[in-house]
Structure 1
């Protein structure tokens, strides 16, 4: 269903939500649901605003809207990196509702621990990690075009929480990113595991996408973001796009704040 975007959005917006349980490993209230419309059903995640835990660095009650804004930006890239997502009323009030993506159990791993002398061919380094008893290993991620695209989008979103568990390889061959509640802050907060391309030139397709995105942020996309973000946050998003185009390179980890989310996976 995630791949059929128009049908998924219609289902999410107008369907009837049925609750089945709570995802207990989520830091905020995340409810496992199904949504049904005209005999068509799909699984989804519903995150009501009232279940959001207050954060010191993000305004209260804004995380659901930020998830929807992240989807709007990702959809505008044309890369289909975030599952269809809407803001709507549900059993516990207004919240974000997103199509459920089941990870493919047969998919190759996206992250690995390797010998500190690595990385092995086809992998890129993230950080050296302690693995116990004084031993270290190199945490690496796959050198994969799908992840590289997501790294660019995360830089635009100013994603402060790109954990390994937020990367879902699907059976259709796509990789989806989820959990985008802590995005779009005005100050730089990029925390991610996808640092393997740091300092490398952006690909031609990334530059082309960012040029297009800059124009859309000044027009229709910017208008779609304003119900969910402040004017300063929309402006900062355009400025991040401009900064990426000016440098034409992937960003590097900051020395002023943690660059790796915790826990990383």
Structure 2
């Protein structure tokens, strides 16, 4: 299923507002390649009139084949995850569009500026990351232990993440979109104080593929406020426009599975627990 470019959609019609219009309609110029990514991923500038923003461009032509996800669908899944995020109102996923670019159709997503990213930053970020590896037995207040492991030197370490409402919402979001690859490096703390999730190309599959580092709330009840938001997402999938917007990017079976995950969470409002089918992605960053 080849993603359909969204160019020409009115501002806000697809959940994108503000700088998203520049990403959708502006001239896209590649300024570098992100070598650490498993698929072809480029840092770009989008220009329109006097506006300029930085963004990430992932062309469909640069997607590596996967055994369990159909070829050429990852960009559309990234956009589908954005649509779900926007429908929830949590804005976990940065503004994302599908459009033509220098290497053909692909996903374009707003770049997230993080503390210490630029030379102009007053000073580098300090303290623990939202997801981090710590020496065993040294878990600070406000962090939840996830996994005991050994580092490259053979020392015992503990994978932890912050006990943070923004991460808790992201954990629920990952359950809903069936995220198969929530690594620590896919969680970005923006300079605007918000926490963003990126790299959702292996999500929205019909089969259970949840793999995440955010297991700190496993087996815990989902709060009523969150369930109310999830219930509204279910309404959007049944009678709103969300299913229509998802349809060019994922299959009817996958939309049905998304609805089923919403219903399952509402009927049994407890966060799932890891098992052999739900491991932690490794490496975790």
Give the Cα separation in 2 of the matches to 1:169 and 1:36.
25
Q: Aligned Cα RMSD in Å? A: 1.5
1:262 and 2:282 equivalent?
yes
Who is 1:139 aligned against?
159
Could you say if the C-alpha distance between residues 188 and 22 of structure 1 is closer, same or farther in structure 2, counting changes exceeding 3 Å?
same
Could you say if the C-alpha distance between residues 5 and 172 of structure 1 is closer, same or farther in structure 2, counting changes exceeding 3 Å?
farther
1:250 and 2:261 equivalent?
no
Could you say if the C-alpha distance between residues 62 and 5 of structure 1 is closer, same or farther in structure 2, counting changes exceeding 3 Å?
closer
Give the Cα separation in 1 of the matches to 2:141 and 2:176.
28
Give the Cα separation in 2 of the matches to 1:111 and 1:62.
28
Give the Cα separation in 1 of the matches to 2:193 and 2:49.
29
Deviation at 1:114, TM superposition (A): 3.3
> Does the CA-based 8 Å contact 1:158-1:184 persist in structure 2?
yes
Deviation at 1:113, TM superposition (A): 2.8
Who is 1:59 aligned against?
70
Deviation at 1:7, TM superposition (A): 1.5
Name which of 190, 214, 238 aligns with 1:170.
190
1:224 and 2:245 equivalent?
yes
Unpaired runs of at least 5, structure 1: none
Normalised to the residue count of structure 1, the TM-score between the two structures is 0.94
Give the Cα separation in 2 of the matches to 1:72 and 1:215.
14
Who is 1:236 aligned against?
257
Deviation at 1:10, TM superposition (A): 1.1
> Does the CA-based 8 Å contact 1:66-1:180 persist in structure 2?
yes
Who is 1:34 aligned against?
45
Deviation at 1:97, TM superposition (A): 0.4
Give the Cα separation in 2 of the matches to 1:208 and 1:148.
15
Normalised to the residue count of structure 2, the TM-score between the two structures is 0.88
Three-state SS of the structure 1 residue aligned to 2:19 is helix
Name which of 158, 173, 177 aligns with 1:157.
177
Unpaired runs of at least 5, structure 2: 1-14, 117-124
Who is 2:109 aligned against?
98
Three-state SS of the structure 2 residue aligned to 1:7 is coil
> Does the CA-based 8 Å contact 1:107-1:169 persist in structure 2?
no
Give the Cα separation in 2 of the matches to 1:121 and 1:36.
44
Give the Cα separation in 1 of the matches to 2:27 and 2:170.
31
Three-state SS of the structure 1 residue aligned to 2:148 is strand
1:72 and 2:83 equivalent?
yes
Three-state SS of the structure 2 residue aligned to 1:216 is helix
Using the TM superposition, name which of 25-34 and 202-211 deviates more: 202-211
Aligned length: 261
Using the TM superposition, name which of 63-72 and 241-250 deviates more: 241-250
Give the Cα separation in 2 of the matches to 1:249 and 1:53.
35
Deviation at 1:263, TM superposition (A): 1.4
Give the Cα separation in 2 of the matches to 1:203 and 1:107.
31
Three-state SS of the structure 1 residue aligned to 2:151 is strand
1:202 and 2:213 equivalent?
no
Three-state SS of the structure 1 residue aligned to 2:87 is helix
